[in-house]
Amino acid sequence: MNKKLFTSTFLAAALAISSPISMLQASTEGSFDDTGGVLATTNAIKDIEYQIMVQRATQLAIWAMPAVGMNDFITATRRDLGGDLNDVIYLSKPFDSKHGFLTANDVTAYSWASLTSEPGPIIIEVPAASDKVNYFGTVVNAWDQPIEDVGPAGADKGKGGKYLFLPPGYKGDKSKEELQKEGYLVYQTDTYQYGFSFRPVLSNGGTDADAAEYAQKIKIYYLADAANPPPTKYFDAAEKPYDCLPYYNFTFFEDINDSIQNNPIRPQDKVMVSLAKGLGIEKGKPFKPTERQKKAIEEGLSLAYASMQDYFIAPGKAMIPLWKKDNTLLSQWLVWNFAPGQPQSGFPYETEDSVLVDDRAGGSYFWITYLPKYLGSGTFYLTGLRDKKGDLLDATSTYKLNVPKDTPAKDFWSVIVYSMETKGFVRNAKRVGLSSRNKETMQVNSDGSYDVYLGPKAPKGKESNWIPTGEDFFLLFRLYGPESKTFYKTWVLGDIEKI
């Protein structure tokens, strides 16, 4: 897999792509009728077939963003671990900079898996909460749409459970109701492939080692094998350079093809799937695009990336200010701006008459995965894109963030640096974040607050409070166990200041 994302020159070129309309207006060829309408001749738009391929590549990439993110977990498990579908991946210690994962945290020993129900109904057996570990997490379909949450906040209420997923068109010997009576938590689904990511919640002195042991109690097997399940395979990714980031090159369209080939075509996706044929992607056929199609894919993908990046950083789109009064910003920190109704409906990114293509791409799955079915209050996220003056955070500057002593997190707070380019950790950084769990090694101010420094080099004497950057970046500030649902009405996190 080519892990090169883009060059700045290539991305700049994406923004300069001329539209067919502008080319038509610039052309001296063609004719006009008396009403001013254009009667385009065959020469009015140069190489219309190629221009249409570029446009379709752009829209296909934005449409398929969530499916690509899910497929990259499968790719990474196979390539980096030698595992496969239905295997459980876990961490014996949290992520670090060698791991490629969209906006993951560096304080949690996650577990996750990709699986398929194409051979038949499949079961994820989630262990009951122990006195030291329980799970917070979600099972999603191949489009990253939440199916169900697990653990104390999910369907099993912390008692553990057998989550049974019925494939599309399931017609088994037992009905859904009969299977429920047998103790299964049953879900009819519209894709064959699924994924899950579970975050362990530690208590009573629980450790990452406890979380790793707990992860190896997850079982995945088919309903047909329920009487005598074969052993589940487990892979520890803590020391492996596991990389499930999406990359905006030819592999992106290989991911789109894989998703189309390995799942049913849903009614809401038929139009886009039919347009994919013009780029060499067709259900039941090998993906072997011509050089001309590859060139169009590359050009269209650069524009798609630029569009999603713009959605991510543009004020009022993916994020909105948390602290604002009378149209005046009290702080540059932002909160996620989900499309109306999506948190309440479980983030399907579909309504009665629409598929919310841009909202789910640039608004979410361009930079995150595994939204929960039910939005809870266990963690609160703040996003930092700009410094106090409103400028985007950059690679060469050094910044300071003061974290007050009274930060309202019952468990702990955490601040992590992410690459603006990849939305993952800054590659090969000495550390990717700091948290109140590091207070034993961090310098503390006389008022009990902490100054966190962000930049390519640590300020002299401040190494223990420094997070390396070295490229354009953004921050996520997480409050684990916020003290209330309205804490932000009496508490404000100060701006990131350039020094």
Q: With beta carbons less than 8 A apart as the criterion, state whether 305 and 6 touch.
A: yes
Nearest to 27 by CA among 36, 38, 16: 38
- For CA atoms 32, 33, 34, 37, the dihedral sign is negative
Tell me, what's the pLDDT at 4? 56
The pLDDT score that the predictor gives to residue 3 is 56
Q: How many CB atoms lie within 10 A of CB 96?
A: 16
Does the pTM of the predicted model rise above 0.75? yes
Per-residue pLDDT, 444: 96
Q: Which of 464, 465, 466, 468 is closest to 456 using CA atoms? A: 468
Query: Residues in the chain with pLDDT < 70?
Result: 1-45, 377
The domains of the chain, with CATH numbers, are: 8-66+247-304 (1.10.3360.10), 84-232 (2.60.40.1610), 319-498 (2.60.120.600)
497-498, strands of its sheet edge to edge: 466-468, 450-455, 399-403, 497-498
Instruction: Give CA–CA dist 487/494, Å, rounded.
Output: 15
C-alpha–C-alpha distance, residues 162 and 493, integer Å: 42
For 118-267, list the strands marked E by DSSP: 122-126, 133-141, 146-150, 161-166, 184-188, 193-202, 219-222, 234-236
- The helices-and-strands tally (H runs, E runs) of the chain is 11, 24
Q: What is the pLDDT of residues 337-394, one digit of tens each?
A: 999 999 999 999 999 999 999 999 999 999 999 999 998 767 899 999 999 999 999 9
Strands 450-455 and 399-403: antiparallel
pLDDT of res. 407: 96
Contacts with 361 (C-beta within 8 Å, 6 or more apart), sequence order: 62, 63, 65, 66, 308, 311
pLDDT of residue 225: 97
Q: How many CB atoms lie within 10 A of CB 169?
A: 8
Q: What is the dihedral of CA 202, 204, 205, 209, to 10 degrees?
A: -50
What pLDDT score does 27 carry? 39
pLDDT in tens, 209-247: 999 999 999 999 999 999 999 999 999 999 999 999 999
**Which pLDDT value is given to residue 375?**
85
What's the distance, Cα to Cα, between the start and end of the chain in Å? 39
User: Residue 417 in 3-state DSSP?
Assistant: strand
Residue 243 carries which DSSP code? B
Nearest to 146 by CA among 194, 108, 89: 194
Helix (H, G, I), strand (E, B), or coil: what is residue 103?
A: coil
* Residues in a beta bridge with 221: 123
Kindly state the greatest CA–CA separation across the chain.
81
Distance CA 378, CA 136 (A): 9
